[in-house]
Structure 1
């Protein structure tokens, strides 16, 4: 063991699924002493060969180090894993995907058990972990002091972005970005469905589609400005009234191509509602207010 390795913060990782394993390998490669635990012990064998210490139980793993990172399948599995562990004095970083409410409740329970808490939302897939050039990062929220204390260690697998003291914010940012991603995937699915029965190579459409989505992406900044100012008509180049007038073309094209409009129709319905409320001179920002209950 080298001098540099000794100086690296030791930590514990609970959970060795695809993401947990990628995290573990990144910390091991960077020289961090690592204790791991997984419900299925066989998954830890490869990491043991790479230098990880394998604990027989989650409680044993938690006891091994002050910094404990959790990356399990869901909130219930975190409860189960930590049930018999002594958390007193531990720094718990929960990277398990969950809701903002679950993150806030987890933070409260963690503090009640004498530990400090930081929540995280991973914006990456396993192959991006440990590769800075891949652009993956992790949202963190909760104790800023705890984040600053472990910033360097937490930044080894992927970049870090601190989003606030509220423990639920990391999950909220995570789900917000992923929700936008699925909206994009829905549009892409509809676009490819439209050409599915035609003599058009999907590979020919793909670069045009990708470039168009990239060109439209900066519109999120204008939407944010509208929401901050409350003026949804400022700088509008495509009025809602004009866009609603064009929606029958999209629906008719789908029908003619034998494609279900179910991915488009709900959004078009919201656009019509906003227009009926007098938002014809706006862009599409007003649809957001219809979604907020």
Structure 2
């Protein structure tokens, strides 16, 4: 028997996928209607979270944050089966994941943090990526169960909390990437360039393909053989900001990058490769 706590878009679709694979799933959500909606799919819904976990060997969790995970698990624990396994897919702090692993182990339960890079459709189709780290014996035991839920299970080794950290790093990149797209569209709007032309550009030129080489260059920590000097990158950055201001649009991210560039130029790095702005992060 499996229990699943948290019927948001991700949790609900995980449950649908489990049921399609033949699992019996008991579900709970803080808003009961979201849980009862899954009864038509074959789930059994409960209003009381302690009732939802009764008899469950594995309890999956997809909630909001550390506080909600701690609160819900504390309330649910009165219904835990002896030796039950908690698998938490919530994006949380690394510290929270480490603490929960320790505390639940002391209480006789296994807790594994397994955050995901998935959208609702990935959860429904069992695609996307799931991250784990920590006790390798536990992970080996749960790997068959976890692999049913994802396209790829990525094991980051024995360090507790590392999966949580990797999830935060990935999400930071997604947030930065999306904010960069927003600035790109703002500049296009200022220059009266239609989005269809932007799409055509990126259909032909994929800057995302540069990521591995850019990461390698920045982490190497050598900047004295520039492919784009910081002074020149800063000049172009000013052109972005001037064009946006002239066209009546606002850039959210670029002005902060300009400030960072100015700091490094003032420190004497203007003739070095512009990736020097990441030096403090890798040194």
TM over 0.5: yes
Tell me if the contact between 1:35 and 1:64 (Cα under 8 Å) persists in the aligned partners.
Answer: no
Pair 1:245 & 2:204 matched? no
Contact 1:141 1:165 in 2 (8 A): yes
8 A Cα contact 2:4 2:28, kept in partner: yes
**How far apart in 2 are the matches of 1:292 and 1:224?**
10
Return the offset for 1:165.
2.4
- Give the whole-Å Cα distance in 2 for the aligned partners of 1:192 and 1:48: 43
Matches within 5 A, 1:104-115: 104-115=98-109
2:110 equivalent in structure 1 = 116
Pick aligned residue for 2:196 from 170, 190, 203: 203
Paired residues for 1:91-106 under 5 Å: 91-106=85-100
Contact 2:183-2:252 within 8 A present in 1 as well? no
Taking structure 1 as reference, are residues 267 and 211 closer, same or farther at Cα in structure 2, changes over 3 Å only? farther
| The 10-residue stretch of structure 1 (267-276 or 189-198) with the greater mean CA deviation from structure 2 | 189-198
Q: Unaligned regions of 5+ residues in structure 1, if any?
A: 1-9
Cα distance between partner residues in 1 of 2:188 and 2:231: 28
CA deviations on 1:96-140 (whole Å, 9 max, x unpaired) are 1212122222222222222122112221111222325xx521222
Equivalent residues of 1:70, 1:96 under 8 A apart: yes
Q: Is the 8 A contact 2:231 2:265 kept in 1?
A: yes
From 1, 10, 19, the counterpart of 1:28: 19
**Structure 2 residue aligned with 1:286:** 276
* Distance 1:248-1:227 versus aligned 2 partners, 3 A rule: closer
| Range that drifts further, 199-208 or 138-147 | 199-208
Task: Determine which of 109, 121, 126 is the counterpart of 1:127.
Answer: 121
Does 1:190 find its partner at 2:180? no
Measured in 2, the distance between the counterparts of 1:204 and 1:63 equals: 56
Structure 1 equivalent of residue 267 of structure 2:
277
| Deviation at residue 175 of structure 1 after TM alignment | 1.8
Tell me, yes or no, if the aligned pair for 2:230 and 2:275 is still in contact at 8 Å.
Answer: no
Structure showing the higher helix proportion among its residues: 2
Are the aligned partners of 1:37 and 1:58 in contact in 2 as well (CA < 8 Å)? yes
The alpha carbon displacement at 1:25 in A equals 0.5
Q: How far does the alpha carbon of each residue in 1:14-70 deviate from its partner, in whole angstroms, 9 at most, with x for none? A: 111111101101111111222222223322223223222334532233332222111
Give 2:148's match in structure 1, choosing from 150, 156, 177: 156
CA root-mean-square deviation: 2.6
The alignment partner of 2:114 has SS state of strand
1:255 counterpart residue number: 245
Contact 2:3 2:27 (C-alpha < 8 Å) held by counterparts: yes
Distance in structure 2 (CA, Å) of the matches to 1:282 and 1:33: 60
SS in 2 for 1:219: helix
Please say if residues 61 and 87 of structure 2, whose CA atoms lie closer than 8 Å, have aligned partners that are also in contact.
Answer: yes
Q: Matched residues in 2 for 1:228 and 1:183: separation?
A: 19
Structure 2 portions without partners, runs of 5+: none
Q: Distance between the aligned counterparts of 1:142 and 1:62, measured in 2?
A: 24
Match of 2:257 among 256, 267, 278: 267
TM-score, reference length from structure 1: 0.83
